Structure 1
Amino acid sequence: MSSLKINNLNEAQAHQALEHCCAAPSWVSGMLNIRPFKNQQHLFESAQSVWNCLGESDYLAAFEGHPQIGDLSTLSKKYAATAQKAGHEQSGMSKANEAVLTKMIALNKEYLNKFGFIFIVCASGKTAVQMLELIEQRIHNTRSTELSIAAGEQAKITKIRLESLL
């Protein structure tokens, strides 16, 4: 077996580490059932495979583990497990001007009202303006299209967070 850090954790520690990567309980359980992982590739493939078997309620549970993009004040107790990661991932928003932030917050509210879940985007490496452009484009999607896109974005976020475990 490989020396992946995740394999050396006890069950409770592994659960917590995985939950920091993705808040969906079914995903965490699925990953714990597969552990130990042979190598990094097996870890990533398992993460995607488990994610692909999940449904809407699992996606929504995962989305609940995120603050809204641009609403840096929501990095509070509710998001304590992922706050540091999310804050770093959203670092592009911290450099946004007030007009961009104001528009982003308004669109976040509109998006949440329309779809019933927050706007999910893999924010790493994106500027505030790029994220604003994405929400402006995606807000016109149907709910099913948007749920599918958001699930794909969540999978990218999860992979980045798994990489930090290595």
Structure 2
Amino acid sequence: MGSVFDEKDFLASCGSTKFSNNMVAAGPFSTLQDAIQAARDIWFNKVDVNGWLEAFAAHPQIGQTPSRDHKSPTFAQWSKGEQSTAMSTATEVTLQELVQWNARYREKFGFVFLICASGRSTPEILTELKIRYQNRPIIEFEIAAQEQMKITELRLAKLFSNNVDTASAIKSLSTTNIATKAEDRVNIIGAHLTAATRATGAKPAHIPNRTRPPITTHVLDTSRGCPASGIEVRLEMWKDDQARPQFGEADIGGWILLGSSSTDKDGRSGQLLNMVEDLVPGVYRISFNTGKYNPNGFFPYVSIVFEIRESQKWDHFHVPLLLSPFSLSTYRGS
């Protein structure tokens, strides 16, 4: 017997009436994984543009309190909780800047800036907002829909964590080898499991099914204010079992090529890594042939080295490059 939820439950998860109706019709769902698989299919293949815009409109702007007369009180409550990290890391200055950029974003795209805010600080959100503001509307519309799906998955997990049958099922899984070595996906996203689930003493099994490769990148030409296309990109991993790359030491022979590509017209690289569920922990390097792109620039090439730890192997790592002929920066995105 699967978990039974109604339209109000799924409306709290997404904000789209068409989505919630389709989820009810597709249910009941035996597991959270089944619900997420159905949700992805419904959201990306069955909900139309109006449904997407309805879901976007249900969200308050980052930094604002949800309306008390929201059509779903649970939706409003969850939105407030998901912004808790942003609010706790905000200052008067960053909040004012966030309000200004939110207004600019809405004026350009016609809908609220949407991002899965759980666990993100205000500076992180501001950085992402400014980068995405450079996108063309059709690109940004798709990104907003992907962020909405992340939020929906998080909230579906909350629904299931409140369900007695699901909590019992999770508890029974704790005796299996799978649950013993599984990572709590909900804790990775935002640590929002309820006290009832924690009381069982069990870890819900990790939910697979990535929708994109686990390591991605894009390049933005900040001197021109546009994506940088045609830049060769290489992804490598350090494979020397006897050592690891150290600052100031030669690293010849330790790097193994995992994949290569070139950035497209939107500055995004092609697939650099296979669609694996869990990454191998270790040190990775993304290199960009910036000298070919900017022949008269300062950087013949750029390499970004970063480490993925055991606890992060199910995370997604977006490592972009913000480039001009004489400066560069990067950050870890999502």
Do the structures match in fold with TM over 0.5? Answer: yes
SS in structure 2 opposite 1:125?
coil
Show the counterpart of 1:136.
130
2-structure distance, mates of 1:142, 1:55: 20
Show the counterpart of 1:63.
56
Q: CA deviation at 1:82?
A: 1.5
* 2:29 counterpart of 1:37: yes
- Scaled by the length of structure 1, the TM-score of the pair is 0.89
Show the counterpart of 1:24.
16
Alignment of 1:122-161 (within 5 A): 122-161=116-155
- Runs ≥4 residues deviating over 4 A: none
Identity of aligned residues (%): 32
Q: Which amino acid aligns with 1:56?
A: V
Structure 1 or 2, whichever has the larger Rg, is 2
Q: Which amino acid aligns with 1:26?
A: K
Larger helix fraction of residues: 1
Across the two proteins, how many residue pairs are aligned to each other? Answer: 157
Contact 2:32 2:156 survives alignment (8 Å):
no
Show the counterpart of 2:101.
107
Q: CA deviation at 1:32?
A: 1.0
1-structure distance, mates of 2:116, 2:32: 21
Q: Whose relative contact order is higher, 1 or 2, with alpha carbons under 8 Å and at least 6 apart?
A: 1
Q: CA deviation at 1:81?
A: 4.0
2-structure distance, mates of 1:158, 1:17: 11
Contact 2:13 2:152 survives alignment (8 Å):
yes
How much is the aligned-residue C-alpha RMSD, in angstroms? 1.3
Q: Deviations over 1:48-70 (max 9, x none)?
A: 11011123211110011110001
Contact 2:85 2:121 survives alignment (8 Å):
yes
1-structure distance, mates of 2:139, 2:61: 19
* 2:41 counterpart of 1:49: yes
1-structure distance, mates of 2:96, 2:67: 17
1-structure distance, mates of 2:148, 2:22: 16
Show the counterpart of 1:86.
79
SS in structure 1 opposite 2:70?
helix
Show the counterpart of 1:116.
110
Unaligned stretches of 5+ residues in structure 1: none
Contact 2:106 2:112 survives alignment (8 Å):
yes
Contact 2:106 2:113 survives alignment (8 Å):
yes
- Scaled by the length of structure 2, the TM-score of the pair is 0.45
1-structure distance, mates of 2:85, 2:126: 11
